[in-house]
Structure 1
Amino acid sequence: MIRIEAGAFQMGQEQGGDFDERPVHKVTISRPFHLSATEVTNAQYEQYDPKHKALRGKNGFSKDDDEAVVFVSWEEAAEFCRWLARKEGKPYRLPSEAEWEYACRAGTTTPYHAGDKLPKEFHKNVKNSWFPSRGDEGDVLPLHVGRTPPNAWGLLDMHGNVEEWCADWYGPYPRGDQIDPAGRAEGDFRVTRGGSHSTLLEYLRSANRSGTLPLDKHWLIGFRVACGDPPKTPPLPPVPPRRWARDVRQEKTDWSAGPDMSKPYFEGPIQYVKIPPGSEGPLFSRHNHCPAVVACPNGDMLAIWYTCRTEPGRELGIAASRLRRGATEWEPAEPFWDAPDRNDHASALFLDDDGTIFHFNGLGAGGTWGALATVMRTSRDSGATWSRARLIMPEHGLHHMPIESVIKTRRGRLIVPCDAVPGGSGGSAVLVSDDGGKTWADPAEGKPIPDFSSGKSGAVMAGIHAALVELKDGRLLASGRGNSIDGKMPMSLSADGGCTWAYKASPFPPIGGGQRLVLTRLAEGPIFFASFGKSVEFTDSSGKTHKGSGLFAALSDDEGETWQVRRLITAGGPPRRVDGGGNTGPFTMSDMSAEPRGYMSIHQTPDRVIHLISSKQQYRFNLAWLRQAPPPRADAAASQERPADASAGAKPLPAKKDLTVVYRADQAPTKTRLAWRFSGSGTTEDKAVRLEGGRLTVTTGPGQRVRWIDDRADSFGSAKADKGHTVEIVLRVSRSTSQTRGVDLETVVAGPDGPRRSMITVTTNAVLWLDKKFAPLATGLDNGSADHVYRLAVDATGRAWVYRDGKLLGVRWAAATRDPLAQAGQTYIQWGEGAGGSEADFGIGSIAWDLSGAYRPAD
């Protein structure tokens, strides 16, 4: 044990720290105490609990006597300290969080006790680990104590190896100085400190705060022992209720006052994710996604979702918003549930017949959703208060990431779908409870991923993020993302309560990244299905058939055998831009287009209104609206249909010789200016790009790609579709191994009908235009022996005029695009060589553009 003298320090980190490390405040430790030099080892812990020896080597970790003991909960660590105190007659205990940081810093103020950077000796598998769902070399490593340099006070392993339990309940720091702080009086999570192996170095800082449920245990957490009387300072009060939990009406609502269900009813989109821009914790404005929604017994709607910087990040937590009965606006979001520095993928809500709301959530061991346990909470007061989270699947691994499609069968079985794998295909498992949630089982545990071919069967549903519904005969019907069958979204059927599943193709198109379907039985009887499609065929009220795109709905009146009444879930009308949030971003909503992607959740209230939420927006409608054919397209929309020949009816462009923005070759992107984007083995700026004789020369080899994209330089990102724009490149293509792809020149500009792409490619002997594929504008050219000037002028009607050395090669329509950057609302210019499998040598004299309009070259 190392004696730690009394003293004072600044607790927390202002610059570069996390939100929960602020406000930085002065803390005085008024009395000396002792702290063990290392973490408690297997040999030491097993003197207290000999049976724990059976856990040596679990998942490959901590086999030797002198390795840090792991798989120890907070309750077990605290009981070890009480046992040791009784055994030796000394006040052994877990250190307080303030004592731990004081001892770790050892008088330093830098991020680590070793300085601003952590030396290599402390680095152990530094990454966001996916273990055990994905095992990489180095994921399992020894945890011997005392192998890193000590701090100035003689303490070892204070940065990394394993996290260490502290005595405190986790909660926000107060303002003002503190003496011997003892944390909060109660909470959801106990604090851990010090970071561990298999994580990023920022989580090993002296000020970093982590925590988890007191009964949680895994291979990242151990503890060390303090000795001394515990702090006598009273703990701080519990954290006050969040907005969604305050002033919650407890009377059951009268649902008879809802809309007239005999008439079609639709409202939306209505934004429910409301987080201020620039938020960096505990709510994050950068990424909000993966929602669940439920109607409370008092008539309120409660929505939850995860909020983060990045989806695998340890900062990911769960946010919530409430729409109070009678209100028209969702309240601003506030945190709902967030195990500190644990990835909380993902959430589900379910309302039972007795008014109990169930909340299911994943609890990560660290970052990523590769090592999740599953927790459950319940509320009996419309979500105002919740029971303590209970680990219903305590082992961190697969089959533990809840999906929002929770059901209760007519026989009383609760079924929670969970992804079976961390990737994009591999199926969904179920967790089942036949006693109201007291005990749980995973029927697919230990069983292999099956062959999802039509006619086959296995232990999991086909497709991740699966949604399911109970049929009238007691069977379960499910659909999911990935594991397509015959080019269609898969369907799975279970006749034994979710233990085994038979696979077949659905009639629906498969979905991909950023998309999650919903499936539910409506109170009126039909089964409701909503998903996404690029070409959704529907018939309007005049009998005319159309093909739209995006979010659509279908109904089955015969228990999933056939599906009818497809329509887009859209407010219709003239094209307008809507922010879809999450992985959706801005999109165009119109009669013919709806959200292109999103994660959906659905709940039908007793007034029979269907509430569908995506990653940021809510839609409300009823069965009558679903069965009603949409009206014919407005004349204005029909008049916008473009003739096949873009030159038909085109007005001549005005002439302009010099464009407003010009980059000469020596001003083009470099390491110190705007950045190139490289892909392919061995492709770097040093090898691919060079300045020779006033020209920028680029060379690519097999599988290599060199491109430049920018939305900032000279404000190209401010290009407006209703003004038009002109770009021009002076180019020589001396080698291009592909006959249909060479050096690209591309612009993407957002407009009222969505983003539009204009793109040519120049080979050694041709200029080609991209619509759905590249088609020649001109062939038999010599593009390699000298520089030529290529101009792309896009006017306000969407016509793109292509010129070579002042000669018009053709007029084409700028094409709609589903490029992720474009769908996210970005306007940009891009040029370079980027064909898969092609090679090229080319030189550029200059690149120029003008955002004031579309101009032909002057004579």
Structure 2
Amino acid sequence: MPWRIVRRRRLAVCVFASLEFLLCFGGEVVMAAQMPTGKEHVNWAGMRFVRIESGGFQMGQEAGGDWDERPVHTVRVTQPFYMAATEVTNAQYEQFDPEHRKLRGKLGFSKADDEAVVFVSWHEAVAFCEWLAKKEGLPYRLPTEAEWEYACRAGTTTRYHTGDSLPKEFHKNVGMSWFPAPGRTRQGEVVPLTVGQTPPNAWGLCDMHGNVEEWCGDWYGPYEPGEQSDPVGREDGDFRVTRGGSHSTAIEYLRSANRSGALPEDRSWLIGLRVALGPMPKTRPLPVPPPPLNQRNVSQRAPGDLARAPDPTQPCFRGPRTYVHIPPGSNGPIFSRHNHCPALVECPNGDLLAVWYSCLTEPGRELGIVASRRRQGSEEWEPASPFWDAPDRNDHASALWCDERGALYHFNGLSAAATWGSLAMILRTSTDNGATWSKARLIAPEHGVRHMPVESVFRTREGAILLPCDAVTEAKGGTAIHLSHDDGCIWHDAGGTILGIHAPVVQLRDGRLLALGRGDHIDGKMPKSISSDLGKTWTHSASPFPPIGGGQRAVLLRLREGPILFISFASRIAIKDASGAERAVSGMFAALSHDEGETWTVKRLISDDGPSRVVDGGGNTGKFILSHSQAEPRGYLSIHQAANGLIHLISSKQHYVFNLKWLETPAPPAPPPPSARELPVKRTLDVVCAFSELPSKSQPAWRFTGSGVAEADAVTFPSSGVMKVDTGANQRARWVDDSPTGFGRADARKRFTIEMRLQVLKSTAPTRGIDLEAYVGDGSPTGIRCFMTITRTGVYWSADEGMVALAENLDNHSALHTYRLAAREDGIAQIYRDDKPLGARPVCHAADPLLKPKGPYFQWGEGAGASEADALVAHVAYDLTGPYQPPGQSTP
């Protein structure tokens, strides 16, 4: 029987076919026409399709591709099919769903009839194809991922079908986008999405690189090696594949081989669809991949002694112990370069589960969530393994919680692409200790701000689940809270804003909420926010705590014993130790409140109070010194009190365990100050530099690092054998030797001696004059840094607590004197003036932040900002063979 003529938009397509098969939609049997056979096909809706012949290709990209594009493997497409020449437009899609017209122009995108339709979920894309099929009796569908890449490549093997570069006409707002985040959205972010404006590939397909991402039919999953015919992806998964890249992204995401994916329910201004025409391949999908390590062999039995703890009347402290274990050189899906922003929970079986993000760069599309499990009865954390990762979507960031019935909750932000400027929010749950998880559900589906989960999920006394979320993308602007009153089914933003980002929250006994945030300082202090209406409104005041900044996130926790525990960071804060003495410490500290946050007592550094040693803090922390006076200087914290009462604290890489008794026990007294000892005597050091010309012109040459004044203007030579350094306010005249043939070859194992002979003519700051400084290390804050300064009347040492006096009431201005610093192998420096010892001091560790060195350096000169200093310099000298004292009086 002939097929009837359908007229639409002045197009007449006459298809003559015999009855060939039946299609069934919702119980309705529909006659189906014979597949077209020509090179092109235009359907009743005016959609033009081009024929894609069968053939084979290499799927994926080896060199320069992403980890999920490997292994490159041979794929054979055994049957021809048709692919739409362009993406589906608004006019075409709205014939199926007229209500979608209301979304034209949402966030400014896709207003015209001939622009690609966006804000379409995978389910809606499938429904559109089924509607087309029902209308015409032909097998319209989404393409498989393999069909999409085969059609895109059109016989090419290069990065793009245009070659290894993509011409400018394909570029639409190329680059990393923070849209629609206020304050970070650039001009020109909204671009037209008109279809068919770029040159077609060799097979006649337009917009295969950019414009909008296109839904494919497959569940996303890893590639398998070996030749495959008509692959259809995995049999199940969390994400449906999208291909082609879009506007507003880096150009590498537009490559032919690039793979992306999204939750089937997700909608954004970046994703549309392209329709395929042809019978669906009958290939069986690949099985779901095996679970990651953190989900394998998870015990479902809770030990009977789970709540048994060490004696709570005795202080207990363990750690730090590394919980992030990733092999060097890992480059996806787990990355060794950057691991940060953790969340922590105890599972009902006693296991600890930690998750965090792993990436190359924090705003990058490669960022995903990984996990490690510490199994009950073990002290060791397992190697990191994947936890949740929306392909090519930034997953900033995670929160974990266990409810009263033992269900685990995983909250996560889900970006539309890169950055945390366009986050939606998802929730997954587990009822088997994290062995399996429900599929992610969008609980805040609109991509934007106020959706980045923060540490400290809890149930309020009213029964609501409370989840803090950063309200902004920048370093200040506040934190929102989201609430669910039905165990996580429906969520809403409470509406108010806490001062400061990353704000942890606790509920007070009277029902009010207390939060302490980062940024938005009040009177130089960390802001404190109080809400009496579950977050609808907040009042703000200054807390007693110092503000925190980059690389730092604090935690608040209501302990089961009653007090509120706060852990944060300070560059300098006072504690009272067991001797009753108050002393200054720095780094991560703990404070307790026994009166609902009205007053706080700073109790302890989070440290084992042992000898100084180097610890790797990972993340944005890097290596740091842990000692009785120094703790981790920064890190993103997550905290959980286990069933046995022990408090587990993780930073960006380290795990600490302690109990309330340890917090309440004063730290031991500081060790006695170091003492000087006899060192080998050496009158003249190996390298002595006396200047008769500018130091930068002398041999060896000293690099001028001053500011506010030229070297030639800061230096004169009033008499033979001395050089005068003369600076004014806000001028710096300093010189450094970090050359590989000079001080840059210093070996930390041998230590060193530095020396300067000078006369201080003028110094206007009380504890800064002419500086003498040396550093041996790799630029991290775990090197060996010795820093002293000489004023007209004193010699001062740079310590953790600031500049401390070595000697005062001296006459350093009437004549030349020689000042020597000898760095010992035990981390102690001995300081001398002429042949007299001035004392011994522990070395510091952080290098000069203005220099940003990569290795050792020796620096001297004036540089105290607004102060002034003038001096006559006879020589500077150093010796890299060890620490030496000058001849003369013995060291006492």
The normalised TM-score by structure 2 is 0.80
The 2-side partners of 1:741 and 1:564 are apart by 38
- 8 Å contact kept, 1:587–1:824: no
* Residue equivalent to 2:527: 490
* Residue equivalent to 1:315: 366
The 1-side partners of 2:440 and 2:244 are apart by 24
Instruction: State the 1:751 CA deviation.
Output: 12
- 8 Å contact kept, 1:294–1:303: yes
Instruction: Give the letter aligned to residue 540 of structure 2.
Output: Y
* Residue equivalent to 2:404: 353
The 2-side partners of 1:639 and 1:707 are apart by 31
Instruction: State the 1:753 CA deviation.
Output: 9.9
What is the CA deviation profile of residues 361-392 of structure 1, one whole-angstrom value per residue up to 9, with x for unaligned ones?
00011111011000001111111111110000
Which segment drifts farther, 559-568 or 20-29? 559-568
Instruction: State the 1:756 CA deviation.
Output: 3.9
Which segment drifts farther, 123-132 or 419-428? 123-132
- 8 Å contact kept, 2:685–2:877: no
Matched, 1:388 2:439: yes
The 2-side partners of 1:652 and 1:164 are apart by 76
The 2-side partners of 1:848 and 1:157 are apart by 67
- 8 Å contact kept, 1:196–1:221: yes
3-state SS of 1:47 partner: helix
Instruction: Give the letter aligned to residue 119 of structure 1.
Output: P
Instruction: State the 1:322 CA deviation.
Output: 0.7
Are residues 484 and 236 of structure 1, via their aligned partners in 2, closer, same or farther at CA, if it must alter by over 3 Å?
same
* Residue equivalent to 1:291: 342
3-state SS of 2:672 partner: helix
Instruction: State the 1:852 CA deviation.
Output: 3.7
3-state SS of 2:528 partner: strand
* Residue equivalent to 1:237: 287
The one of 719, 741, 757 aligned to 2:785: 757
- 8 Å contact kept, 1:577–1:752: no
What is the CA deviation profile of residues 516-536 of structure 1, one whole-angstrom value per residue up to 9, with x for unaligned ones?
111111111111111111222
- 8 Å contact kept, 2:781–2:845: no
* Residue equivalent to 1:181: 231
The one of 578, 587, 590 aligned to 1:553: 590
The one of 18, 40, 50 aligned to 1:2: 50
Are residues 656 and 715 of structure 1, via their aligned partners in 2, closer, same or farther at CA, if it must alter by over 3 Å?
closer
Pairs within 5 Å for 1:623-702:
623-633=660-670, 637-640=671-674, 652-653=681-682, 655-657=684-686
Where does structure 2 lack aligned partners over 5 or more consecutive residues?
Answer: 1-48, 690-694, 709-728, 757-764, 868-875, 888-892
* Residue equivalent to 2:723: none
3-state SS of 2:95 partner: helix
* Residue equivalent to 1:204: 254
Instruction: Give the letter aligned to residue 395 of structure 1.
Output: E
The 2-side partners of 1:680 and 1:282 are apart by 45
What is the CA deviation profile of residues 272-303 of structure 1, one whole-angstrom value per residue up to 9, with x for unaligned ones?
11111111111011111111101111111111
* Residue equivalent to 1:724: 751
3-state SS of 2:429 partner: strand
* Residue equivalent to 1:697: none
Are residues 668 and 246 of structure 1, via their aligned partners in 2, closer, same or farther at CA, if it must alter by over 3 Å?
farther
Number of residue pairs the alignment of both structures matches = 794
- 8 Å contact kept, 2:611–2:627: yes
Pairs within 5 Å for 1:315-714:
315-444=366-495, 459-564=496-601, 566-633=603-670, 637-640=671-674, 652-653=681-682, 655-657=684-686, 713=740
* Residue equivalent to 2:327: 276
Matched, 1:151 2:201: yes
Instruction: Give the letter aligned to residue 176 of structure 1.
Output: G
The 1-side partners of 2:668 and 2:340 are apart by 32
3-state SS of 1:481 partner: coil
3-state SS of 1:639 partner: coil
The 1-side partners of 2:384 and 2:743 are apart by 34
The 2-side partners of 1:162 and 1:703 are apart by 53
The 2-side partners of 1:105 and 1:667 are apart by 61
Instruction: State the 1:818 CA deviation.
Output: 4.7
The 2-side partners of 1:679 and 1:46 are apart by 66
What is the CA deviation profile of residues 777-823 of structure 1, one whole-angstrom value per residue up to 9, with x for unaligned ones?
99999xxxxxxxx99985656548899xx999x99978635569799
3-state SS of 1:331 partner: coil
The 2-side partners of 1:773 and 1:539 are apart by 21
The 2-side partners of 1:824 and 1:356 are apart by 47
The one of 160, 169, 185 aligned to 1:112: 160
Instruction: Give the letter aligned to residue 328 of structure 1.
Output: E
Instruction: State the 1:481 CA deviation.
Output: 0.7
- 8 Å contact kept, 2:568–2:590: yes
Q: State which structure, 1 or 2, has the greater radius of gyration over its C-alpha atoms.
A: 2
Instruction: State the 1:222 CA deviation.
Output: 1.1
Instruction: Give the letter aligned to residue 398 of structure 1.
Output: V
The 2-side partners of 1:163 and 1:352 are apart by 38
Q: Give runs of ≥4 in structure 1 deviating > 3 Å.
A: 648-660, 663-669, 676-681, 702-722, 725-729, 740-762, 767-781, 790-803, 810-815, 817-838, 847-858
Are residues 212 and 285 of structure 1, via their aligned partners in 2, closer, same or farther at CA, if it must alter by over 3 Å?
same
The 1-side partners of 2:129 and 2:811 are apart by 82
The one of 143, 149, 170 aligned to 1:122: 170
- 8 Å contact kept, 1:587–1:823: no
Instruction: Give the letter aligned to residue 749 of structure 1.
Output: G
Pairs within 5 Å for 1:821-836:
827-829=855-857
The 2-side partners of 1:590 and 1:850 are apart by 29
Which segment drifts farther, 712-721 or 262-271? 712-721
- 8 Å contact kept, 1:768–1:778: no
Instruction: State the 1:572 CA deviation.
Output: 1.3
Are residues 769 and 318 of structure 1, via their aligned partners in 2, closer, same or farther at CA, if it must alter by over 3 Å?
same
Instruction: Give the letter aligned to residue 152 of structure 2.
Output: C
Instruction: State the 1:99 CA deviation.
Output: 0.9
* Residue equivalent to 2:718: none
The 2-side partners of 1:478 and 1:278 are apart by 39
- 8 Å contact kept, 1:653–1:854: no
What is the CA deviation profile of residues 693-718 of structure 1, one whole-angstrom value per residue up to 9, with x for unaligned ones?
xxxxxxxxx99999999999579887
Instruction: Give the letter aligned to residue 446 of structure 2.
Output: E
- 8 Å contact kept, 2:359–2:366: yes
The normalised TM-score by structure 1 is 0.83
- 8 Å contact kept, 1:292–1:304: yes
What is the CA deviation profile of residues 278-332 of structure 1, one whole-angstrom value per residue up to 9, with x for unaligned ones?
1111101111111110111111111101111111111110011111110120111
Instruction: Give the letter aligned to residue 438 of structure 1.
Output: C
The 1-side partners of 2:824 and 2:855 are apart by 15
Instruction: Give the letter aligned to residue 477 of structure 2.
Output: G
The one of 214, 218, 226 aligned to 1:164: 214
- 8 Å contact kept, 1:584–1:824: no
- 8 Å contact kept, 1:406–1:414: yes
Matched, 1:816 2:844: yes
3-state SS of 1:54 partner: helix
The 2-side partners of 1:75 and 1:154 are apart by 27
* Residue equivalent to 1:218: 268
3-state SS of 1:35 partner: strand
Are residues 591 and 802 of structure 1, via their aligned partners in 2, closer, same or farther at CA, if it must alter by over 3 Å?
closer
The 1-side partners of 2:64 and 2:739 are apart by 26
Instruction: State the 1:172 CA deviation.
Output: 0.5
Are residues 106 and 829 of structure 1, via their aligned partners in 2, closer, same or farther at CA, if it must alter by over 3 Å?
farther
* Residue equivalent to 2:719: none
The 1-side partners of 2:327 and 2:406 are apart by 33
Which segment drifts farther, 540-549 or 358-367? 540-549
- 8 Å contact kept, 2:530–2:540: yes
Instruction: State the 1:131 CA deviation.
Output: 0.8
Which segment drifts farther, 365-374 or 794-803? 794-803
What is the CA deviation profile of residues 814-842 of structure 1, one whole-angstrom value per residue up to 9, with x for unaligned ones?
8635569799996443879999899xxxx
Instruction: Give the letter aligned to residue 342 of structure 2.
Output: P
